[in-house]
Amino acid sequence: MCSRGLEDSLVDELYTFDGVESIRKNKSGANFNASPEIICRLNLWARIPSRILIQLGKTQINNADELLIFANKINWGEWFTPSNSFRVDVNITGKLPRSMSANFVALKFKDGMCDRFRADFNGKRPTVNTKNPEIRIWIHFFNSLVTASIDTSGEPLFKRGWRQNKGIAPIKENLVSALLGMTNWDMSKPLMDPMCGSGTFVIEAMQKFTQLPCNYTPSRIRKFAFENFSPGSPFNNTNWKVLLQEAHDRWEDKNKIIKNIPLVIGSDSNIKMLEVAKLNAWHALPNKISKSIVWKVNDFLNYNASEKKISSSGILVTNPPFGFRIKLSENEKKIFIEKLGTVLKKNFSGWTVWILTNEKRFSSIIHLRNGEKFPVFNGDIACNWLSFEMVTGNMKNNYEI
């Protein structure tokens, strides 16, 4: 599973993993074949997916009785036991069969699961926990075609575990990772987020450079759902300790001296938010990498260009704060965007600028012609990831901070 708009990025990433086969893109995700060990590796290392599910069954359903029979046919005891807690989540594409709702589907499917457990475990069944379940079952309806899957991830994979403070309306880490990939940043040029908030773009950029496992940090070793699977599951023979050690070794290797560290800059006008970003980076990255990030307190729209220059070219990436972090009227938002355009035109000649926005008229308001345009979703908000080439001319050659 992944956010809408990231399907191509997900497929591209899956192809980089040995042992991932038969990759097929679908809406909000991709299907593929892989061994339990590879699935464990993906949970640790893959930057784009939000969850990794294993399909357990698929069939056509026309009524509630058929749904109950379908749930009862799956050998749940192969995956977890009556001592585990679980919940059932339902996703719907199209229309459900008549007289059925999402809540009804969840309850009916749960009943079928529990009937199978009682039959297989002498009347015992697992408990339902809707807040912190050990096992999550996902039911997806495409009209009357229903698919049942078990979640191997547990907590969503975009929750990397390094956020000490989220700030207001933080952007998801896996979305940022995909957006960075779309920029084709080669890690040799400087990269800057001038409105960095809690530091997500900056931190993800450094994690990509160091090729760290995105879902492993020594300060918070998260637990995955597959660790709760029963001893009889296909994951029983996977040496999880070895895979964790590999992740830890990568982290330790990257804590040594690294050459050619790119210049990565995070700035924000909010001093307290910048301190949060620094703390997040300290948790998310090896110490030497974290210390290499340049942090600046800077109001990007009204900065004082008084310090040393950065570079005549680079990549600027940002998710402007208007909307959730800063409440603006339509006129105030228009003025904000126009000022942003003025700063970019005057000071970023030779740079490539990437901006995430849900403003449909953004290019016309900022008075710049966008190049690349990628439709994506930031949560449930439809956005565009737009690129702008800052051409040379009478503009200043460098931006100063």
**What is residue 401's predicted lDDT score, i.e. its pLDDT?**
42
Report pTM: 0.91
Give the phi and the psi of residue 260 in degrees, each rounded to 5: 60, 40
Q: Strand 264-268 vs strand 294-297: parallel, antiparallel, or unpaired?
A: parallel
Place of tokens 């309850």: 107
> How many CB atoms are located within 10 Å of the residue 344 CB?
22
CA distance 317 to 352: 9
**How is 20-57 classified by DSSP, letter by letter?**
-EEEEEETTEEEEE--HHHHHHHHHH-SS-S--EEEEE
CA distance 167 to 161: 15
C-beta of residue 68 within 8 angstroms of C-beta of residue 110 = no
**What is residue 398's predicted lDDT score, i.e. its pLDDT?**
41
Report H helices in 146-199.
173-183
CA distance 203 to 214: 11
Enumerate residue ranges in the chain where pLDDT < 50: 305-308, 393-401
- Taking only the tens place, the pLDDT of each residue in 298-353 is 888 875 544 445 678 899 999 998 655 566 788 988 999 999 998 998 888 899 99
Domains of the chain: 7-151 (3.30.2130.30), 173-224+257-389 (3.40.50.150)
Give the phi and the psi of residue 69 in degrees, each rounded to 5: -65, -40
CA distance 187 to 284: 18
**60: buried, middle or exposed (CB in 10 Å: 19+, 13-18, 0-12)?**
exposed
CA distance 384 to 356: 6
Q: Give just the sign of the alpha carbon dihedral 88, 94, 96, 101.
A: positive
**What is residue 164's predicted lDDT score, i.e. its pLDDT?**
74
Token code pair at residue 370: 């966008």
**What is residue 391's predicted lDDT score, i.e. its pLDDT?**
82
C-beta of residue 91 within 8 angstroms of C-beta of residue 139 = yes
**What is residue 51's predicted lDDT score, i.e. its pLDDT?**
96
